[in-house]
Structure formats: structure tokens, C-alpha cells
Chains A and B, each alone.
Chain A
Amino acid sequence: MAGHDHSELTKGGAHPHHVLPQGMIFLIAGGLFAGMAATIGAAFMIPEPLHSNTFFMQSLALAIAIFKACLVVYFYMGVKFGTRLVKIFAYGGFIWFFTLFIMMADYTSRPMEPVPGWETVPSSALPRNTVEDPE
């Protein structure tokens, strides 16, 4: 990759290594709007019993969102045509995002604790800023 970047041909060139063709832009745009329609459509038109299956519905919505995100990142943001370095940073950020979700391990394993935890709000946690208690 680095080989062709610094070859004599491109050296000092003012021109980008890759231009996303107009047809492609239209195509991706079509994909994005179709994705949007699919999201809304899925939220309202999927029949029961699937419609009340939260897990299914949520996965579907996220899958469509991820599909759209991939289109944007891959084509519009040019990661597909970017150097290896750009790819590393682009994917790295999105992958590292998931380390945050290690926190969920804490919350899902709290019910295993022998003592009551977050489930019961301790009486010491007095309400504030609530309408019931204007003080």
C-alpha cells in the first residue's frame, strides 16, 4: 500500500487517490433511504407475535442501523479506499467502543450477590428535585 503511495507517479500530485463516482453516491443514498424506510416500516408493520418480541425487534432495528452506518463509514467516509492506517483508526475506534460494555458484566452479575443491591433503593436515598418534594 505504502509502495504505490510514494511512487513517482503520484508524488506531488494534487489529486486524490480515489474519487467516489457519482453513480456510487446515488446508490449509497438509495441504500440509506431504503434503510430508513425499513427501520420505520419494521417498527410499525411487523405483525404479531414478532412485534411484541422485544429482542427480535431491537435486533432488527440495530441491524438496519449498523447496515446504514457501514454504508456511510465504508463509502462516504472513504474507509474502503483509505490507506491501511485510516482503516486501523476507523475500525479501532468502533471496536474499542465495545470495551465500555464490560460494565454491563457488573450489572448482570449483581443478582448473584448474596446481599440486596441496586434492586432495593436504600431509604437513605431521599428524593430531591422531584415534584412530590419541592424542598
Chain B
Amino acid sequence: MSGHAHAQGDGPEVYFQYEDIDQQQESYVVGMWAFLMTEVMFFGALFLIYTLYRWKFHDTFFLAHEQLNWKMGGLNTAVLLFSSVMVAFAVHFAQKGKKTAQLICLGMTLMCAFGFLVIKSFEYGAKGDHKLYPNYTFEYGAHDKDHKVESWWDDNLPAFMHIEKKEQHGDPKNAKLFYSIYFTMTGLHGLHVVIGIIAITSLMVLIIIKSPLITDYVPTELVGLYWHFVDLVWIFLYPLFYLIPR
């Protein structure tokens, strides 16, 4: 990287391959969107698989999903939504050039991301206890009593709102399919959260050490785009896995 052809005073730096800052900033945003397009297709294939099997084995999927903890999932939704809001603020402050506020918002996002993972790990752990990992240990219906946890809701609402629990459990094989998809999709989503954490942390470090790599708001915006995408995926995952209608 020999020639940074034209740095303009104290404005952001223009890399040597670009003519001006507009071109540079737009290129980055377009590039990021092109990448997000592939991410859409990446998760898209999984959503297709989900749709197909859900359509095929709806009843079993419904029964299997009752073992998922919708409250935990809901909490995670809230956490992620909040983090998304924080990122939006971070971008806002970056654009306004308010560094401290931006760092605080990014920090909040980071905490939400960790919070998400912690909650997720509790959930995964519980699935292990219930022998619901879709591998050779899988034993569908092993811990039936535990899922009475849900009944708190039933006890506190008038009768017509009670959710009737069906007697049968569906086909354990298809239930394993459900958990395979569940773990793949949420696992990959979790992986994206981890990548997001790495990205946000690096961004914060670079901002704090005043690295020459960060001269304008664009890096924050790119990280923000990525993080919003992560949130976007969860927006669909939550109702599709945790709140399957009968």
C-alpha cells in the first residue's frame, strides 16, 4: 500500500484506488450489500429446508417445538432488537462524529451480543439435559414432565386461552429432523453473532487506538449493516421455531 494518493487535510482518507471520498464510501456500501445478498441466499436455503419439512411433518413439528422455551427465545429476541437499536444509534453518532457516544452504543451492542449467547447456551444446555441433541443420544419424549414449565401461562389466564397439550408426541424420527434443523439454523445464526462480536470488538479497538484505518463513519456503518442482518434472521427464526401454531 505505497501511495495513499490523496488524503485531504483532516478529512477522511481516500485510498489510492479511488478518485474521491464519495466513490470510496459508496463502493464499500455496495460491496457490503452484495455480500449481504449472499447471506440472504445462505440462510435462504435453510429456510427452504425448514419450509419443506414443516409442510411435510407439521404435526410433529408442532409437538416437538413445545419443548423449546419460548420465553428464553422471546428474551433473546428482545436482546437482539435492543442491540439493533443500539447499533443504529452507533451509526448515527458515528455520522455525527460523536466518538464517545458511538463507543458507548457499540459497547452496549457488544453486551447484548454476549447476553444473547449466554441465554442461548442455557437453552442449548437444557436441550442436552432433555436428550434432544439430534445425534445418537436423541431420545424424544424423555423428559416430559419438565415441559410443564410452560403451564405458568395457562394458570394465569382465563380458560379459553389455555393451550391444549396433545397426548401424542408425533413421530420421534421426524422430531429429530426438527431438532436437526433447529440446531443448524440457530447454530449458524449464533456463529454469525460470534463473527459480529469479533467485528464490533475490532471496530471499537481500532477507534480507541485511533487507528488510521478508521477515518470516517463507513466502517461503523458496515458493521451496523451486518449486525442488522443478524437481527433480521432472528426476527424470522423466532416465530418459526418457538411459536409454531397448531
Q: Which residues of A contact B (CB under 8 A)?
A: 5-6, 10-16, 19-22, 25, 28-29, 32-33, 36, 39-40, 43-45, 47-48, 51-54, 57-58, 61-62, 64-65, 68-69, 72-73, 75-78, 82-83, 85-86, 89-90, 92-94, 96-97, 100-101, 103-104, 107, 129-131, 134
Do B48 and A36 touch (CB < 8 A)? Answer: no
* Residue contact B77 to A36, C-beta cutoff 8 Å: yes
Within 8 A of A (CB), among B29-70: 29-30, 33-34, 36-38, 40-41, 44-45, 47-48, 51-52, 55-56, 58, 70
> How far is A134 from B139 in the complex, measured between Cα atoms in Å?
13
| B20 lies within 8 A of chain A by Cβ | yes
A93 in contact with B40 given A40-B74, A54-B58, A72-B232 (CB within 8 Å): yes
B194: CB under 8 A from chain A?
no
Which one of B22, B51, B139, B153 has the highest number of Cβ atoms from chain A below 10 Å of its Cβ? B22
- Closest A residue to B39 by beta carbon equals A93
A90 to B32, CA, bound (A): 10
| A–B complex contacts, Cβ < 8 Å, 21 sampled | A12-B21, A14-B11, A14-B216, A16-B25, A20-B88, A28-B85, A29-B81, A39-B239, A45-B157, A47-B160, A54-B245, A69-B235, A83-B26, A85-B26, A86-B29, A89-B37, A92-B37, A93-B37, A93-B38, A93-B41, A100-B47
Distance of A94 Cα from B225 Cα, bound (Å)? 15
A129 touches B136 (CB 8 A): yes
CB distance A86 to B243 under 8 Å?
no
Chain A residues contacting B153 (CB-CB under 8 Å) are: 44
- Are B37 and A19 touching (Cβ within 8 A)? no
7 residue pairs, one from A and one from B, having the closest CB atoms: A57-B245, A93-B37, A61-B239, A89-B33, A43-B243, A93-B40, A97-B44
CB of B246 within 8 A of CB of A107, answer no
Residues 112-134 of B contacting A (Cβ, < 8 Å): none
Q: Does B44 contact A100, Cβ atoms closer than 8 Å?
A: yes
For the A-B complex, the count of residue pairs with Cβ-Cβ distances under 8 Å equals 165
Secondary structure type dominating chain B contacts: helix
Interface stretch of the complex, out of B90-98, B182-190, B204-212:
B90-98
- State whether A10 touches B22 (Cβ < 8 A): yes
Known: A14-B216, A40-B243, A77-B228. A72 touches B21 (CB 8 A): no
Residue pair A39, B243 in contact (C-beta under 8 Å): yes
A131 with B22: CB separation less than 8 A: no
Query: In the complex, A61 Cα to B161 Cα: how many Å?
Result: 18
